[in-house]
């Protein structure tokens, strides 16, 4: 690696909001990712919360009335403060109080599950723990740990939910934790001396079982009968034996593993971090899910939000990374992910809402993959072919593996947050949660008694506005998607030529359809809003407004021709029509060299350690797009980049003057390492020792590569788009895995929409 690990802008302060969160807010997408949860919005787990993305605008454009009432300070989330609420993993003290009251009142389903818990054989007081010094997957010694976790968790709930509390069960659960804390030294795959192959699945065991043990300890810490020294010994064991594995695995993205490896490590690191008051461990889990690099070049694994949801299909339908594998593993991702989201929520961090409820998009996709329609047939599922991430990357999934996994109750946290707490419609999750509700345990992967601890009363507030509306230019048309509302029967799609209206209804989408609409209004700038409609009329407000220029428009223009203080600056136009000046950062040995004309300059890269970094937010909302730049190559080095933008090195798009098996000028975009590339390849490598105009356009799935204004390559199979791969890191003249470009770059431009051949030819003059 030839570039420094820190890139321009420096390291973000440790307690700063993640860059992706700030970007989402800045782009006006109506998101509230990783932001402090206001008490007025139900922060900390109350019902009646306002969904992220709900904007109080109306089709007429009338402004919402403002309130002069004082606003209480927002609670500071744990990712910022490093201070934790206890108990604050899957179940808070307020939740336990609510559940006890429901049981006392005979309310369902809590009473039924309490009665089932009380008659279950795993929480009998005559049982004893069976701790081991080493727990391994290959010799089945891990079963001792699994069974003791089930017993200790059941007894802990039996104590905590009894009224009055029966301390015998707390004493017995403490006995189990003390026994393991005093005995266990290692978790592994194969025991010492074994010749069995090591598949390293101890990483999954460390994450999942570490998380489950922390859940037990977090509840029992409220029991006065657990001595402080015993509690600390248990915490120390968790950090040494379990968290050390999870934090190591999360330390850099290992894209060669499936999403569940990351999710297991995240859930373990997060639970142990909270239980042990370890802010760094907790932040590591949050950052790895959010794909937040905090100013340091790093990769993220397949469990991160931007890798785990490989592709966002219309209607906020998120293709889950393991969906092409099988549904047993896909639903495990939902189980682990729901636990991650809920623990963070209880600490004031809204991972549920991150990237416009991205996890819900995956949950809806996975749930539908496991459901049948009224005729008993599988639902047709949209699918973008994806590379199997496991080494050596030889297979390619082409469709969902619909294996109907109804044996795992993975859905309670997801259902109860989005539907019952937030009032969002999640029709597929709502259907499947009823099918799997009878499942309360039996798997080492899942926390037992999910309905008992997670179920909230049905949402009974007013119908929420449709939310999270997005609009993208795709194939020359406008693709709209939004989140629905509990109680809505249909949605009115309204279009106008001004943000203030007037608006005309262009479509009505019923609530039993995927919530998307493709509009073809012709050239111009268009504004859209969606209004939820129920049995008692429309919601009080419409969704957030979105603006889309159907003919495409200039997004960014960086002349890169002047070595003064404005030499790397240029206007960036956002999708909402606002603009700001952005500044590129010359890195390392990048200097100014001769430009295309005698009076201009260009950024010069030395081929050793140089580059130009651009801020994020340029490509994050683009499907159809165009790139244009002038390039002068002194010489070529295989896989050096003149342009690179992505979430990390595993999910990105790039232009390389000499790359691929043929060593030619190549544009590639990929979502799961370069093995997954969708590419455009010119007949030859980039010419050297002269100025060459290079342009790329994408319209729908048709990509074109132009050299000096002439089409050099085309493909109708470019299925990924910039918004699918992200743009947290953007460079000209380098990526971070290969030597920088040796040459000069001038006049870099980005357009929303695909330029025509005539327009590209004009830029090449």
Decide which of 545, 566, 597 is a domain's last residue: 545
Considering the domain architecture, whether residues 599 and 579 belong to the same structural domain is answered as yes
pLDDT tens digits for range 560-591: 998 776 689 999 999 999 999 999 999 999 99
CA 207 remoteness from chain centre:
19
For residue 240, being part of any structural domain is answered with: yes
Top pLDDT among 67 and 297 is at 297
Share of the chain above pLDDT 70, in %: 90
- In whole angstroms, what separates CA 102 from the centre of its chain? 34
SS3 state at 669: strand
CB 141 within 8 A of CB 191: yes
Say yes or no: 449 and 496 in one domain. Answer: no
The predicted-structure confidence for 374-426, as pLDDT tens digits, reads as follows 999 999 999 999 988 876 667 889 999 997 767 899 999 999 999 999 999 99
pLDDT score of 41 more than 90: no
Query: Tell me: the pLDDT tens digits for 144-172?
Result: 999 999 999 999 999 999 999 999 999 99
In this prediction, residue 72 carries a pLDDT of 61
Place of tokens 């860059």: 19
Partners of 135 in the β-ladder: 187
Specify whether 245 is located in the same domain as 269.
yes
Looking at residue 295, what is its pLDDT?
Answer: 85
Q: 61 lies in a domain?
A: no
Report the mean per-residue pLDDT for the chain. Answer: 89
The secondary structure of residue 51, as a DSSP letter, is P
CATH code of the domain in which 612 resides: 2.60.120.200
The answer to whether residues 103 and 163 touch, using CB atoms and an 8 Å cutoff, is: yes
Q: In degrees to the nearest 10, what's the CA dihedral of 399, 313, 412, 105?
A: -140
Task: Measure the N-to-C terminal CA separation of the chain; round to a whole number of Å.
Answer: 37
Q: What is the pLDDT of residue 393?
A: 61
Element spanning 244, H or E: helix 244-250
Would you state the pLDDT for residue 533? 97
Tell me the mean pLDDT in the region 178-192.
97
Residue 298 has pLDDT above 80, yes or no: yes
**Where do the H-state alpha helices sit in 631-694?**
none
Q: What is the pLDDT of residue 392?
A: 65
**Average pLDDT of 50-74?**
40
pLDDT at 70: 57
What's the rounded mean pLDDT across residues 684-696?
98
SS3 307: helix
Higher pLDDT, residue 30 or 254:
254
Residue 623 token pair: 């499907």
Confidence of residue 61 (pLDDT cuts 50, 70, 90): very low
3-state secondary structure 691-709: EEEEEEEEECCEEEEEECC
CB 24 within 8 A of CB 35: no
Using only C-alpha atoms, the chain has a radius of gyration, in whole angstroms, of: 27
Average of per-residue pLDDT across 466-485: 97
In percent, the amount of the chain with pLDDT more than 90 equals 82
Cβ atoms within 10 Å of 635's Cβ, excluding its own: 13
pLDDT tens, residue by residue, 632-642: 999 999 999 99
Residue 30 lies in a domain: no
Q: Which residues pair with 594 in a beta bridge?
A: 601
Per DSSP bridges, beta strands 729-732 and 664-670 are unpaired
Q: What would the two tokens of residue 335 be? A: 């189980």
Task: Indicate if 406 and 269 belong to the same structural domain.
Answer: yes
CA distances from 455 to 102, 158, 416 (A): 11, 17, 6
For residues 294 and 385, membership in a common domain is answered with: yes
Q: Are residues 474 and 435 in the same domain?
A: no
Tell me, yes or no, whether 10 lies in a domain. no
pLDDT digits (tens, 9 = 90+) for 584-622: 999 999 999 999 999 899 999 999 999 999 999 999 899
Residue 16 lies in a domain: no
- Token pair belonging to 629: 């730049």
Domain count, the chain: 3
Residues 284 and 178 in one domain: yes
Alpha-carbon distance of 324 to 343, in angstroms, equals: 28
Among residues 531, 472, 331, the alpha carbon closest in space to that of 414 is found at: 331
| Average pLDDT, integer, range 61-70 | 40
Residue 287: phi and psi, rounded to 5, are -65, -40
Tracing tokens 């891990």 back to the chain, one arrives at: 142
CATH number of 159's domain: 1.50.10.100
| 510 shares its domain with 658 | no
Give the Cα separation of 593 and 411 in Å (integer).
58
The four Cα atoms 278, 280, 286, 289 give a dihedral, to 10 degrees, of: -120
What is the phi/psi pair of residue 763, to 5°? -70, -25
Q: What is the pLDDT of residue 441?
A: 81
pLDDT at residue 632, as a whole number:
98
How much is the pTM?
0.90
- Of 71-75, 99-103, 129-133, the poorest mean pLDDT is in 71-75
End-of-domain residue from the set 513, 545, 577: 545
Number of H helices, E strands in the chain: 19, 31
| More confident: 281 or 255 | 281
Q: List the domain range (segments joined by +) for residue 579.
A: 553-763
Q: Is the predicted pLDDT of residue 697 greater than 80, yes or no?
A: yes
* pLDDT over 70 at 62, yes or no: no
Please state, as a whole number, how many other Cβ atoms lie within 10 Å of the Cβ of residue 638: 13
Query: pLDDT-based confidence at 50, cuts 50/70/90?
Result: very low
Residue 438's pLDDT is what?
A: 93
**Residue 503, domain CATH:** 2.60.40.10
Name the nearest CA neighbour of 550 among 617, 623, 468, 469.
623
Burial (CB < 10 A; 0-12, 13-18, 19+), residue 599, is: exposed
pLDDT, tens only, 417-462:
999 999 999 999 999 999 999 998 878 999 999 999 999 999 999 9
DSSP-derived secondary structure letter, 39? G
679, 708: one domain: yes
- Residue 146, CA atoms < 13 Å, CB-side half-sphere: 13
Facing residues of 516 across strands?
481
Q: Please state whether the peptide bond connecting residue 600 to the residue before it is cis, i.e. omega within 30 degrees of 0.
A: no
Same domain, 327 and 416: yes
Domain assignment present for residue 482? The answer is yes
The domain boundary residue, chosen from 404, 425, 454: 454
Residue 393 and residue 367 share a domain: yes
- Which segments of 124-170 are extended strands (E)? 134-136
Whether 663 is in a domain gets the answer yes
More confident residue, 403 or 140: 140
The model's confidence at residue 71, banded by pLDDT at 50, 70 and 90, is low
The pair of three-digit structure tokens given for residue 282, joined into one six-digit string: 């907790």
Helices 354-369 and 427-436 sit at what angle, rounded to 10 degrees? 50
Claim to verify: residue 396 and residue 479 sit in the same structural domain = no
In a domain, 149, yes or no: yes
């Amino acid at each position: 690696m030839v570039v420094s690990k820190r890139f321009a802008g420096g390291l973000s302060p440790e307690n700063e909001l993640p860059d992706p969160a700030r970007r989402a807010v800045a782009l006006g997408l109506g998101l509230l990712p990783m932001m402090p949860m206001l008490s007025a919005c139900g922060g900390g787990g109350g019902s009646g919360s306002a969904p992220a993305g709900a904007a109080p605008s109306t089709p007429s454009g009338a402004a919402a009335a403002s309130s002069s009432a004082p606003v209480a300070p927002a609670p500071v989330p744990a990712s910022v403060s490093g201070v934790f609420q206890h108990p604050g993993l899957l179940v808070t003290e307020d939740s336990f109080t609510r559940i006890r009251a429901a049981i006392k009142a005979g309310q369902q389903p809590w009473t039924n599950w309490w009665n089932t818990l009380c008659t279950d054989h795993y929480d009998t007081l005559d049982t004893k723990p069976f701790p081991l010094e080493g727990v391994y997957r290959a010799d089945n010694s891990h079963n001792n740990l699994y069974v003791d976790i089930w017993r200790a968790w059941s007894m802990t709930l039996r104590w905590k939910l009894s009224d009055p509390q029966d301390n015998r069960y707390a004493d017995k659960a403490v006995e189990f934790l003390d026994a393991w804390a005093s005995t266990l030294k290692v978790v592994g795959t194969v025991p010492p001396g074994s010749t069995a192959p090591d598949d390293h699945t101890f990483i999954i065991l460390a994450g999942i079982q570490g998380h489950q043990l922390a859940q037990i300890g977090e509840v029992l810490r409220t029991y006065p009968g657990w001595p402080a020294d015993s509690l600390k010994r248990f915490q120390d064991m968790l950090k040494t034996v379990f968290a050390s594995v999870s934090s190591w695995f999360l330390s850099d993205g290992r894209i060669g593993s499936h999403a569940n490896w990351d999710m297991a490590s995240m859930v373990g690191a997060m639970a142990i971090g909270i239980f042990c008051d370890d802010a760094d461990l907790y932040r590591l889990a949050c950052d790895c899910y959010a794909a937040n690099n905090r100013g340091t070049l790093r990769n993220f694994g397949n469990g991160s939000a931007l890798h785990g949801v490989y592709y966002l299909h219309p209607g906020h339908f998120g293709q889950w990374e393991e969906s092409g594998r099988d549904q047993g593993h896909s639903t495990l991702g939902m189980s682990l992910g729901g636990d991650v989201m809920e623990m963070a929520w209880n600490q004031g961090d809204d991972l549920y809402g991150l990237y416009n409820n991205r996890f819900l998009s995956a949950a809806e996709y996975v749930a539908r993959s496991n459901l049948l329609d009224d005729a008993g047939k599988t639902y047709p599922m949209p699918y973008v072919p994806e590379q199997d991430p496991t080494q050596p990357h030889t297979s390619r999934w082409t469709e969902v593996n619909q294996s109907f996994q109804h044996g795992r109750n993975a859905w309670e946290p997801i259902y109860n947050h989005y539907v019952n707490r937030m009032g969002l419609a999640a029709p597929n999750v709502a259907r499947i949660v009823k099918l799997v509700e009878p499942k309360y345990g039996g798997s080492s992967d899942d926390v037992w008694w999910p309905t008992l601890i997670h179920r909230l009363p049905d949402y009974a507030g007013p119908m929420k506005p449709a939310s999270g509306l997005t609009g993208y230019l795709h194939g020359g048309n406008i693709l709209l998607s939004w989140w629905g509302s509990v109680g809505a029967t249909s949605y009115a799609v309204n279009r106008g030529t001004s943000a203030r209206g007037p608006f005309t209804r262009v479509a009505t989408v019923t609530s039993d359809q995927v919530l998307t609409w493709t509009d073809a209004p012709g050239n111009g700038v268009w504004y859209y809003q969606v209004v939820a409609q129920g049995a008692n009329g429309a919601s009080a407000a419409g969704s957030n407004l979105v603006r889309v220029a159907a003919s495409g428009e200039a997004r960014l223009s960086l002349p890169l021709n002047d070595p003064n203080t404005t030499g790397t600056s240029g206007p960036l136009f956002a999708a909402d029509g606002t603009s700001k000046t952005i500044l590129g950062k010359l890195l390392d040995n990048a200097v100014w060299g001769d430009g295309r004309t005698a009076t201009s300059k260009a950024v010069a890269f030395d081929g050793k350690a140089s580059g130009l970094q651009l801020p994020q937010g340029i490509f994050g909302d683009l499907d159809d797009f165009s790139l244009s730049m002038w390039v002068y190559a002194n010489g070529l080095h295989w896989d050096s980049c003149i342009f690179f933008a992505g979430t990390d090195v595993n999910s990105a798009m790039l232009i390389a003057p000499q790359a691929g098996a043929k060593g030619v000028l190549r544009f590639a975009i990929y979502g799961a390492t370069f093995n997954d590339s969708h590419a455009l390849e010119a007949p030859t490598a980039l010419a050297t020792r002269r100025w060459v105009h290079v342009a790329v356009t994408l319209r729908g799935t048709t990509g074109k590569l132009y050299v000096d204004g002439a089409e050099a390559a085309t493909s109708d199979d470019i299925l990924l788009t910039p918004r699918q791969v992200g743009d947290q890191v953007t460079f000209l003249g380098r990526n971070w895995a290969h030597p920088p470009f040796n040459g000069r770059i001038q006049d870099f431009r980005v357009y929303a929409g695909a330029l025509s051949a005539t327009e590209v030819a004009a830029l090449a003059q």
